[in-house]
Structure 1
């Protein structure tokens, strides 16, 4: 037992020396680095064997190693000296995180919605596409709103329903998407939360209304 513990102490001293050398080195050739790694692994194995002999504990599955010399199948670094530090890294050894992303289309869609709300209370006028005409029809509201943001859409609902990309359901829709109803005879702008803004029919004004999937012909996303 005494001899084993003495051997453990010697090995620990050797490994500490190797760590100091590795920490102070600023440049190294590939051959030197490989030799250092092999020597470190050999000493680590000897350390584990000696400690097993001294304590009677099977340490076959425990790999003690210097930082930067992982054993096969080991993905965390376990520094010698009894303190284990774990860190998940990329193949280059540098920790990474998912880059923050912004959705310009969603932000623009919200701007579209805010513009459309400026026309709440505007009378329905068939064929109307500007306030100079006294009011707006459904596609006129869409056309005018988008044009104020530099987006030129077709004038009538049946053509607007062919623009952009198809969205499968209201659950996937976002503010600014076009809501097409009655087979292409009516259009509004989605606000979110199951609501759209539209100019419904003669005698009505631009308003916000609740909608459900069963009342939607298609949903079109203009802003990617």
Structure 2
């Protein structure tokens, strides 16, 4: 777990404790309908915080260690730098590389460690169900698990073909039936490219946006959810950034 995540979760937990205390105080004053409504609002907000916290750990288990903050587009761009490098069996640098050597080199350039051989790369990350769901940066294993390519989007791939050829950016030539597996190494692009504060927890955007929306919506109904608490929650969710 990164230092930024640890700090963000610490802030969230502090706010959750504050909300629970406020909710308890509101319950003690439950003689009025306004206090009852405030307690319910705080309970809902606390539940959303719990959801965000519990899913934070799950986000870290997807993809490969070190892939947080890396986009599929960045993978494609890193691979494009090797276009024209000759195919060399067992090679894994700009002097020559084979298909799995290209994959390992590209991800290493982005600070992500993946296995060296196709047999290991085809189990890395998380599975993608079909070509229709593939995104740039995904790995596609073909030819009975003997070849691997980097999907570049728009039905194009980047790969090191075979002896006598060079690393190439070409149209996809294989069909769905030729694919052994598709693996996603970096988080889904759409969950990774929207603006976030520097300390935000990667992969949690949807939960956090729902949470902040809930805070804003409930504030008018809660006597204890004031502007300072809203600001503190927003800062914790977005790592100090603004929306």
TM range (shorter): 0.5 to 0.7
Corresponding residue for residue 127 of structure 1: 90
- Verify the 8 A CA contact 2:71 2:186 in the aligned structure 1: yes
Residue 108 (structure 1) aligned to one of 71, 74, 82: 71
Superposed CA deviations along residues 94-128 of structure 1, whole A, max 9, x for unmatched, are: xxxxxxxxxx9796110010010010011000000
Relative to structure 1, the CA distance from residue 214 to residue 109 in structure 2 (aligned partners, 3 Å threshold; closer, same or farther) is same
Aligned counterparts of 2:119 and 2:143: Cα–Cα separation in 1: 10
User: What are the Cα deviations for residues 5-53 of structure 1, in whole angstroms up to 9, with x where unaligned?
Assistant: xxxxxxxxxxxxxxxxxxxxxxxxx9xxx9xxxxxxxxxxxxxxxxxxx
Offset from partner CA, 1:52-103 (integer Å, 9 cap, x none): xxxxxxxxxxxxxxxxxxxxxxxxxxxxxxxxxxxxxxx98xxxxxxxxxxx
Identify the structure with bigger relative contact order (alpha carbons < 8 Å, sequence gap 6+): 2
Residue 127 of structure 2 is matched in structure 1 by: 166
Identify the match of residue 215 of structure 1 among 159, 168, 178. 178
Verify the 8 A CA contact 2:70 2:186 in the aligned structure 1.
Answer: no
Structure 2 length as normaliser, TM-score? 0.49
The CA distance in 1 between the partners of 2:96 and 2:90, in whole Å, is 9
Number of equivalent positions: 145
Q: 2:118 matched to 1:157?
A: yes
Higher helix proportion (structure 1 or 2): 2
RMSD: 3.8
What is the TM-score normalised by the length of structure 1? 0.52
Gapped regions of structure 2 (runs ≥ 5): 1-28, 33-39, 42-66, 188-243
Quote the Cα distance in structure 2 between the aligned partners of 1:162 and 1:222.
10
Residue 190 of structure 1 is matched in structure 2 by 151
CA distance in 1, matches of 2:101, 2:129: 25
Corresponding residue of 1:61: none
Gaps of 5+ in 1: 1-29, 35-90, 93-103
Q: CA deviation at 1:163?
A: 0.5
Larger Rg: 1
